[in-house]
Amino acid sequence: MFSGNFILFLCLKYSLAIRFSFDELLVNSSISQATTRIVQDFYVRKSSAVVFTTGYVNEANRLRQSDLINEILQHCSNRFALKFRHQESCHISSTYPEQFNVIFIDSYEGFTSVFKRMSSRDFDYTGLFTIVLTESYRNQYTIITRVLQDCWSLYITNVIVLATIEVKTRAAIYTYFPYTPYHCEMVAPVISNYFVHNSFQYEADFFPRKLRNMYKCPLLVATSEEIPYMFLIPQENGTIYTDGIDGIIFRVLSQRLNFTPILLIPSNEEIEREAPKQIGTSISVWMKMVHSGRANLTISSFSYTKDRADLLTASFPYYFSSLLFTVPNGRPYTAFEKLFLPFKYIIWSCIGTSFGVGLISIFVLKFSSKDKRDFFIGNRNRTPFLNMVNIFFGGTIHRPPTRNFARTLFCIWTFACIVIRSAYQGAVFDLIRNRKTIPAVDTVPQLIEHDYTLYMTALTMNMFKFPPDLSEKTRIHDLTVEEKFLKLMDNDFKGAYITTEASVAYYNKKHSANDSYFVRSTKDRVLLMPMCIYFRKHSCLADTFDEQINLYTDSGLINSWVSQFSQKEYLQFHSTSNQRSHRKLKLSQFRGTLSLCFGMICVTTLTFCFELLSQKFVVIRKLVELFE
């Protein structure tokens, strides 16, 4: 009797053991097959290396996870390179954060053992994460919710959780959408696919694009008005309309991605209080608002710097602008000086040399034989030098030369004078009409050489490290764009303001009707600044915004928007004359011409008096006859 009961006990024991092992094999089989399909159909197509990480609470679960991984590797052999992490140390030697990750956990505690050791050095939070729950629980949905909430705390959105459901031969893929028509920035796990009978039920993307439509969810944006980048225009309904280079880009982004921007504008006191104090840093109040979680992003003419990128995540540059120094216009050219501006000194020297050679040649020919005079200057040409001047100013010759050589000289001189006179007339008209000035300095080395004071904002000054001799010449200012440019209208002001190229071009275009408000800048540039948007560190928004920015950049839309506020032609003074409206010339603009005419009349009067005196004095008469 005893032996029969003992045999029955052993049969029941081994029967239960075999059934338990069989059930465990079924669990591992459904999970392993689903994981294998995900790795083969998605991971291997995008990368040749996949990282497996395990998290467990006891040795038995660790062994089951090892068996599961071995089964997956048997199906995926020679398909990819495997990198393995265990929960004691998530760090492996790698030159860059891993994007393709599979994490095996047996519970929420097992996931926590991995999660608390995760770092951006080893994991790319914008990469792909498949979390495999190897054990079954009654409160499985709660565990998955907590796991996905931890993922959202690191802005990991490309994540799925694979777990068994109902019977152990079926598995489901859970994920979450942070922005939906029903909630914003919340985690509510949903089943995106089922794995039944060794295949997935739906042909759905394992990692869909979740942020292409934010369903009017609010995004907090730290910004402020910065002309011409960001214009904040209040509307009657209480909203703020954004315009400008950054304003248009951000407005289009909000429309395309379908989110509602909530603008956070720091006060002047807060800006001054949170201004960077340490030299070499460019972390301003707007960056601190994003870093602290008060805002999702910030945009307002912010350039890329290393310390900002270390603290936050920067988007792709959408526009490049240069930093340069704006300087006083300098002394205006006098009306008489403008008459000599069309040509450089070398051209005036050539013209003067031509007249000098002509005068000397004519003077020498005066003492030569008649045949030589007729050969070079023509027959009966009693005023050759006067004819030479007459042709230069566009006059006519009533008796052209008859000899071939003299005609050749006549044609060459006439053609040269037509070209020179036409070029001069066209250039001198623009010079008379415009207010051109003599720049005191044109380059940054000249600013330093002439001991100019360099003015810049506190934020800009902290971006540079000046040598001691140069730091003594720098000053901090808090003037607006209009105020500092108006200060440059004073030609006696010995200072320069650092600003962006777009600000100068916008100001000059705005005041193009009045040449007296033109702002001059140095020819060389101090720094080329890539403008970008800043997000929280590892924010999931960055990739979605980058996708849109690249689309606008490649299509030329951003260049079109920039051209509405900044055109390089307005950095040059001559651009102010390119206006469709006709401007009447003033008498003061002809002051140089009138002065020259008055001087020539005085010379003519003196010559006339000299000729009158020649009738009474023999010496003077002989001198006059010499130059006839």
Q: Where are the domains of the chain?
A: 15-200, 217-321, 335-433, 591-626
Cβ within 8 Å of residue 60, ≥6 positions away: none
- The stretch 574-597 carries a mean pLDDT of 63
Render pLDDT for 126-183 as a digit per residue (tens, 0 to 9). 999 999 999 988 889 999 999 999 999 999 999 999 998 876 678 999 999 999 999 9
CATH ID of 217-321, from 3.30.70.20, 3.40.50.720, 3.10.310.30, 3.40.190.10:
3.40.190.10
Sequential DSSP letters for 376-396: HH-TT-S-HHHHHHHHHTT--
Contact 176, 152 (CB under 8 A): yes
Contact 229, 214 (CB under 8 A): no
Alpha-carbon span 306 to 280, nearest angstrom: 10
Q: At 181, give phi and psi (nearest 5°).
A: -65, -15
Render pLDDT for 495-551 as a digit per residue (tens, 0 to 9). 999 999 999 999 888 887 776 678 888 888 888 999 999 999 999 999 999 999 999
Residue 541: count other Cβ atoms within 10 Å of its Cβ. Answer: 22
Q: What percent of the chain has pLDDT over 90?
A: 37
Render pLDDT for 285-342 as a digit per residue (tens, 0 to 9). 999 999 999 999 999 999 998 889 999 999 999 999 999 999 887 777 777 777 777 7
Q: Which two tokens stand for residue 381?
A: 């040409």
Q: At 429, give phi and psi (nearest 5°).
A: -65, -45
Q: At 451, give phi and psi (nearest 5°).
A: 60, 45
Q: Which CATH architecture has domain 15-200?
A: 3-Layer(aba) Sandwich (3.40)
Which contacts (CB < 8 Å, 24+ apart) does range 80-84 have? 80/39, 80/43, 80/44, 80/47, 80/48, 80/49, 80/50, 81/48, 81/49, 81/50, 82/49, 82/50, 82/51, 82/52, 83/49, 83/50, 83/51, 83/52, 84/51, 84/52, 84/53
Render pLDDT for 461-501 as a digit per residue (tens, 0 to 9). 877 777 777 888 888 888 888 888 888 888 788 899 999 99
Alpha-carbon span 456 to 209, nearest angstrom: 43
Alpha-carbon span 67 to 25, nearest angstrom: 10
Alpha-carbon span 84 to 98, nearest angstrom: 12
**List of E strands, 240-398:** 240-243, 259-264, 297-298, 313-314, 319-327, 331-332
> Same fold for the domain at 15-200 and the one at 217-321?
no
Alpha-carbon span 28 to 48, nearest angstrom: 25
Query: Which sign, positive or negative, has the C-alpha torsion 468, 469, 470, 474?
Result: positive
Rg (CA), the chain: 42
Alpha-carbon span 525 to 528, nearest angstrom: 7
- 400 preceded by cis ω (within 30°)? no
pTM across the whole model = 0.74
